[in-house]
Amino acid sequence: MLNKMKLKTFALAITACTVYSAMAADTADVHVIGSISPAACTPTISGGGTIDYGNIKASSLKADDYTVLDVKTLDIAITCSAPTVVGIHAINGRPNTLAGGGQSSVTGQSQQSPVVLLGMPTTYAVGLGLDGSTPIGGYAGKLDTSSVLLDGVAVEGLNATSTDGSGTWSKYSKGVLYTPFGFDLFSWGASGSSVPVAFTNMTGKLSVQAYINKSSELQLSKTINLDGLTTIELVYL
């Protein structure tokens, strides 16, 4: 019994010391908090981003062929709050309205143009809206790589067949916004490189060329408004 009592007393003493130590080690935490905001980039396009073909006379349209209009050019810039790797992706806001469209892109976002646009025999284009149920025409756009400067330095045009940059990047000098793939992402790298680079300021030229459907297909007794829409989306890489 004595040995057992000693054991119990020892156990109690250990317990008491443990409780006492815990009480003696009261603490107060200091938290160091905050957040690092990602750099933000803002795109701007001259003229409010509007390509205006003005008043097109019905008599100037071809009855049984497409009428190709002039090339129009706007300035485009992307300004970032800190050096940032950015790509751009074109989104067609008027799907299924291209006049005389040929083969569709993989995603169906654009179709092969029936006419030569921007000096390229094979170009993928998007529509100008509908006149009732009849396509009004179409247009193609490109961001001319030779015009692009990143922080004042000439660069290499790049393309990845993905919308998040996960695909393989390759050199792409044409800069055409719509391609057979339809989910392309465009960016820029140093000369000779296929890796997108960070920048603070980007400047370039955005060219667009449109065409009008055959006048025999359109209701020319009333005003028809061209209604093309492309959204330029910035993708942070």
Q: What is the pLDDT along the chain (237 residues), one digit of tens a residue?
A: 333 333 333 233 333 434 444 555 678 888 887 777 778 999 999 999 999 999 999 999 999 999 999 999 999 999 999 999 999 999 999 999 999 998 888 777 899 999 999 999 889 999 999 999 999 999 999 999 999 999 999 999 999 888 787 878 999 888 899 988 877 899 999 988 999 999 999 999 999 999 999 999 999 999 999 999 999 999 999
For strands 134-135 and 41-45, give the pairing: unpaired
DSSP H stretches of helix in the chain: 2-24
Question: In this structure, are residues 87 and 111 in contact, taking their beta carbons and an 8 Å threshold?
Answer: no
The domain limits of the chain are 41-236
> In angstroms, rounded to a whole number, what is the distance separating the alpha carbons of residues 189 and 204?
14
Neighbours of 160 (CB within 10 A): 25
Whole-number pLDDT of residue 15: 36
Which tokens go with 159? 């393309």
The whole-number pLDDT of residue 182 equals 77
C-alpha distances in angstroms, 202 versus 49, 152, 234? 16, 8, 12
